[in-house]
Amino acid sequence: MSVSVQEADFDVGAETAALSAGRLDVGAVVTFVGLVRADKLSGAGSEVSAMTLEHYPGMTEKSLEAIIAEAGGRWQLQGVRVIHRFGRLLPGDRIVFVGVASAHRGDAFAACEFIMDYLKTRAPFWKKEDTPEGGRWVDAREADDSAAARWMT
Amino acid sequence: MSVKVLYFASLRETLGYSHETLTLPESVSTIGALRGHLARRGGAWEALGEGRNVRAAINQEMVGPESAVADRDEIAFFPPVTGG
């Protein structure tokens, strides 16, 4: 189980391979990679030219570790890797990696989705988009809250 | 009671401060009360007032308005998170 919060990009292939390296008890590795989209946002009608991610150093790492620990209490997991970038990112850049290794695919799929849903609502990151009209903070989406809430049963 | 208060993202920009150290009167003993205390500074600080969409953490753990504030706590206020 490991967490990195970093400015640098990451190597998806190397991170994915590391989740099962030297282990014969892993039957499934599920990974998620989040990317910066060059959206046309509703109402604004302007392309995002770049994005800056701010975070709360210290709390960010703690919150990601807590989310992984919670996932580990719900599913049988052999390994979890979470990487989240901060700083200035361009459309097409990778933002986040979540990789989960488990004996069976069911646990790996569910845990990967759970970690992403919780990360979206609990990890202290904030996105600011650069547009031709200037910087604009991204509003939190209600859909993210409901995605996280469906795990609370 | 003395606490460190941090502000992040749009709230930091609105207030023009990223952090401060505050000595609190005895009447301010919860996160909700601290928000009210800060909002009473007026102007931009009303962004922390009741009903505004502001989240809080004590010592880097997300908390609600009823959570108790203790001496030397690190308190943070910020808008809803938008990572991932």
Query: How far is A122 from B13, CA to CA, in rounded Å?
Result: 21
Amino acid at A43: G
Residues B60, A58 contacting (CB under 8 angstroms) = yes
**If you measure CA to CA, which chain A residue comes closest to B58?**
A59
Per the domain annotation, does B22 fall within a domain? yes
Query: Structural domain of residue B70, as residue ranges?
Result: 2-78
Per the domain annotation, does B68 fall within a domain? yes
Q: Please tell me whether residue A51 adopts helix, strand or coil conformation.
A: strand
Q: Please tell me whether residue A117 adopts helix, strand or coil conformation.
A: helix
Per the domain annotation, does B84 fall within a domain? no
The total number of structural domains in chain B stands at: 1
- The per-residue pLDDT string of chain A (153 residues; one tens digit each, 9 = 90 and over) reads 899 999 999 999 999 999 999 999 999 999 999 999 887 554 555 677 899 999 999 999 999 999 999 999 999 999 999 999 999 999 999 999 999 999 999 999 999 999 999 999 999 999 999 888 889 999 988 888 888 989 987
Contact A96 B83 (CB under 8 A): yes
pLDDT in tens, B25-72: 999 999 999 999 999 999 999 999 989 999 999 999 999 999 999 999
Contact B81 A126 (CB under 8 A): yes
ipTM: 0.94
Of A63, A87, A68, A88, the closest CA to residue A78 belongs to A68
Cβ-Cβ contacts under 8 Å, A119 against chain B: 83-84
Per the domain annotation, does B21 fall within a domain? yes
Residue B64: exposed, middle, or buried by beta-carbon count in 10 A (0-12, 13-18, 19+)? exposed
Per the domain annotation, does B83 fall within a domain? no
Contact B60 A84 (CB under 8 A): no
Q: What is the CATH number of the domain that holds B47?
A: 3.10.20.30
Query: How far is B3 from A142, CA to CA, in rounded Å?
Result: 32
